Chains A and B, each alone.
Chain A
Amino acid sequence: MKILVPVKRVIDYNVKPRVKADGTGVDLSNVKMSMNPFDEIAVEEALRIKEAGAAEEVIVVSVGPAKAQETLRTALAMGADRAVLVETDAEVEPLAVAKILKSLVEAEAPGLVILGKQAIDDDSNQTGQMLAALLGRPQGTFASKVVVEGDKVVVTREVDGGLETVSLAMPAIVTTDLRLNEPRYASLPNIMKAKKKPLDVKTPADLGVDIAPRLKTLKVVEPAVRVAGIKVADVDALVAKLKDMGVA
């Protein structure tokens, strides 16, 4: 079985994003970029399934600019076998990404596609579900546990009230939540080895996918800021405040 893992190059999660003064978006110039954290979890999970003997090959794919090759190399250094970059400088919406992935899935026929549940830039939380819909396959979203059992995959999901477990017929789509695993760091020898692993470059046009955006961003602004309030000296003063508010 092959496992396909889409990864996205995003602003590093430790960097505080700055909105551009002209309101057109977030300033990404000279900002540290990294693999979307949920996607790192997806790569790790695919590698663990392969290491457990349930898969033979892990293919990573990214849709984005030429620099997304760095993100793919990171995934290869973690242990993925080969990579595909679908290169475009345009901003690609989840629906178009799902269409690109559908085309790759049809070519590669993986048993599992494991994606991050959302990217920490646009926070859409859509691509996995959309891919599942376009392929007519089941989806196990927000996974905290993934177990391959024959031709089924059993996914425990993080849901509002707690946890829910579903059984999906493979091929299936899984999206990762935070507690699925702790991604590994790439070792230096593996980083060197990753440079020699195959990385194919295609374009959305090669795959026959129209990536024209459906949503138009009219403006982007900073959220309303909260101003710091007062500090109280001790618990008695806090109790008095709570009583004033009618809370206690």
Chain B
Amino acid sequence: MKTLVWVEHDNASVKDATLAAVTAASQLGEVHLLVAGAGCAGVAEAAAKIAGVGKVHLADDAAYANALAENVAPLVVELMGHHDAFVAPATSNGKNIAPRVAALLDVMQVSDILSVEGPRTFTRPTYAGNAIATVESSDAKLVVTVRGTAFAKADANGGSGAVEAVAATGDAGLSSFVSAEVAKSERPELTSAKIIVSGGRALKDGPTFEATIMPLADKLGAAVGASRAAVDAGYVPNDYQVGQTGKIVAPEVYIAVGISGAIQHLAGMKDSKTIIAINKDEDAPIFQVADIGLVADLFAAVPELTGKL
């Protein structure tokens, strides 16, 4: 089987989520990549070095600068004429583009796969991760999105794929990019961090969240996350949200501070290697999944912890 993997990038470098998708694709067959962007030749060069990659299709055109699904999907459909499976990481771009491609190919997509069980068989989470379904596709071609935390990352080096330019399919004229507000942070990215410190509604407000959580995260070199309740209450921006409807993470260490442990949140972090919970309510559901729990008032415990590390 020949697979075509969507390379997640910012026109400068390959994002880590791509590497997990490459691993999933390699379990299906031959791995080809698609780098679609503007001024992204450097990305294609870097992508060609990913271990196990055959060909890298490079579509370098202004129409692809912001990965608008309306422009990218026809390009993917064209390339799917000689590929059997389209594999995208379940990033916001992947989730936006893949179903558009699937419908154009008249294929029912398999979303957010956790494992490859056979040439057309996958496991995937449903009901916020409370039920894991094994599904088999009967479509002629496959379209899948890959949950990044469920697959090992392919080695970013060691490959020697060939970069091949492909003709752009042009601007569909349906949509245009206006602006982006990208949060700038010195901290590691949530989805690839080794340690995450997450705060919940108990943090009271934005300034308290900042004053309590950030120093601990900085001490540990950790990324900062938040529960949906904390994001909805406006303590931190939406891109901090960990959970079924936010980011799915699986770091080495996840420290949940003042998070009760709603199903929705647990679905986003329960694959973390070690979970540490600090909460003053000893009956909080978070303690049922935590490896190490500390029942304490976070406003005393967290500064003390930060001071003693």
- A: which residues have CB within 8 A of B? 11, 16-17, 19, 25-26, 93-95, 98, 118, 120-134, 136-142, 144, 154, 157-169, 177-179, 213-223, 226, 228-232, 234-239, 241-242, 245, 247-248
Residues of A within 8 A of B263 (CB): 16
**14 CB-based A-B contacts, threshold 8 Å:** A123-B127, A129-B100, A132-B70, A133-B101, A137-B174, A142-B96, A161-B180, A162-B180, A162-B237, A166-B176, A222-B132, A223-B132, A238-B278, A245-B274
Residues of B within 8 A of A235 (CB): 294, 296, 301, 304-305, 308
Shortest distance from the beta carbon of A240 to any chain B beta carbon, whole Å:
10
A218 to B118 Cα, complex, angstroms: 12
From B126, B175, B177, give the contact of A123 (CB < 8 A): B126
A216-B295 in contact (CB<8A): no
B131-A222 in contact (CB<8A): yes
Of B107-115, B153-161, B207-215, the one touching chain A: B107-115
From A141, A169, A239, give the contact of B305 (CB < 8 A): A239
Contact mask B173-191 → A, CB, 8 Å, 1/0? 1111111111100000001
Q: Judge whether B62 is part of the interface by a CB distance below 8 angstroms.
A: no
A162 to B237 Cα, complex, angstroms: 8
B92-A158 in contact (CB<8A): yes
- Which of B107, B133, B176 is most buried by chain A, counting CB atoms within 10 A of its CB? B133
B290-A19 in contact (CB<8A): no
A226 to B271 Cα, complex, angstroms: 9
Shortest distance from the beta carbon of B174 to any chain A beta carbon, whole Å:
4
A129 to B133 Cα, complex, angstroms: 23
Shortest distance from the beta carbon of A213 to any chain B beta carbon, whole Å:
8
Residues of B within 8 A of A17 (CB): 127, 130-131
What 8 pairs across the A-B complex have the smallest Cβ distances? Answer: A229-B291, A129-B99, A214-B108, A130-B103, A133-B103, A126-B99, A138-B174, A138-B175
B270-A226 in contact (CB<8A): yes
A144 to B237 Cα, complex, angstroms: 12
Residues of A within 8 A of B22 (CB): none
Shortest distance from the beta carbon of A175 to any chain B beta carbon, whole Å:
9
Q: How many residues of B contact A (CB 8 A)?
A: 90
Extra pairs beyond A163-B181, A220-B133, A232-B294 (14, CB < 8 Å):
A123-B244, A128-B99, A129-B99, A141-B96, A160-B239, A161-B182, A164-B179, A164-B180, A177-B238, A214-B107, A231-B292, A231-B294, A236-B308, A241-B276
A165 to B179 Cα, complex, angstroms: 5
B128-A123 in contact (CB<8A): yes
A233 to B76 Cα, complex, angstroms: 56
From B100, B106, B127, B177, give the contact of A164 (CB < 8 A): B177
Shortest distance from the beta carbon of A117 to any chain B beta carbon, whole Å:
8
Report the tally of A-B residue pairs with Cβ distances under 8 A.
250
In the complex with contacts A11-B127, A163-B181, A126-B294 CB distance below 8 A: no
A25 to B126 Cα, complex, angstroms: 10
B294-A217 in contact (CB<8A): no
A123-B107 in contact (CB<8A): no
A124-B109 in contact (CB<8A): yes
A226-B289 in contact (CB<8A): yes
From B108, B129, B195, give the contact of A215 (CB < 8 A): B108
A125-B309 in contact (CB<8A): no
- Which of B135, B172, B245, B263 is most buried by chain A, counting CB atoms within 10 A of its CB? B245
A234-B137 in contact (CB<8A): no
Return the chain B residue nearest A169 by Cβ.
B174
Q: Judge whether B139 is part of the interface by a CB distance below 8 angstroms.
A: yes
B289-A130 in contact (CB<8A): no
A124-B138 in contact (CB<8A): no
B131-A221 in contact (CB<8A): yes
In the complex with contacts A95-B107, A139-B100, A218-B135, A159-B292 CB distance below 8 A: no
In the complex with contacts A126-B99, A247-B195, A221-B132 CB distance below 8 A: yes
Residues of A within 8 A of B173 (CB): 169
Q: Judge whether B75 is part of the interface by a CB distance below 8 angstroms.
A: no
A236 to B296 Cα, complex, angstroms: 12
Return the chain B residue nearest A11 by Cβ.
B127
B292-A241 in contact (CB<8A): yes
A230-B175 in contact (CB<8A): no
In the complex with contacts A95-B103, A162-B180, A124-B305 CB distance below 8 A: no
Q: Judge whether B116 is part of the interface by a CB distance below 8 angstroms.
A: no
A219-B133 in contact (CB<8A): yes
Q: Judge whether B14 is part of the interface by a CB distance below 8 angstroms.
A: no
A229 to B294 Cα, complex, angstroms: 11
In the complex with contacts A167-B176, A214-B138, A220-B132 CB distance below 8 A: yes
B103-A141 in contact (CB<8A): no
